[in-house]
Amino acid sequence: MSRLFWFGLGAAAGLFVAKKASEVTKQATPAGIGANVGEGLRELAGAIGSFGAEVRAGMAEREQELQETVERQTGFTPGRRAPKANGKH
């Protein structure tokens, strides 16, 4: 019984090692490297998109703060056109 156990354990370990070796060699092929690079670029593009969205949101928030400050200190509302001298728009 003990020999059968050790034989089974050795066979399972051998299959596991063979599977892992196959995965590693597949990743080392040009197609595997390309897939890894492609996945990395997709993650980078997503991160850049998120960063851009956060920057735009921050810019909009800061612009609103500045407009409120200008309006509070000068009474002028930024973004509205002042009437022309002759009263026409």
- Transcribe 20-41 into DSSP letters: HHHHHHHHTSHHHHHHHHHHHH
Regions in the chain scoring below 50 on pLDDT: none
What are the phi and psi torsion angles at 78 (to 5°)? -60, 145
What is the model's pLDDT at position 50?
95
Whether the CB-CB separation of 89 and 81 falls below 8 Å is answered with yes
What is the model's pTM?
0.50
Whether the CB-CB separation of 83 and 89 falls below 8 Å is answered with yes
Q: Which two tokens stand for residue 53?
A: 């969205």
Q: What is the DSSP letter of 18?
A: H
Q: Which two tokens stand for residue 62?
A: 């800061």
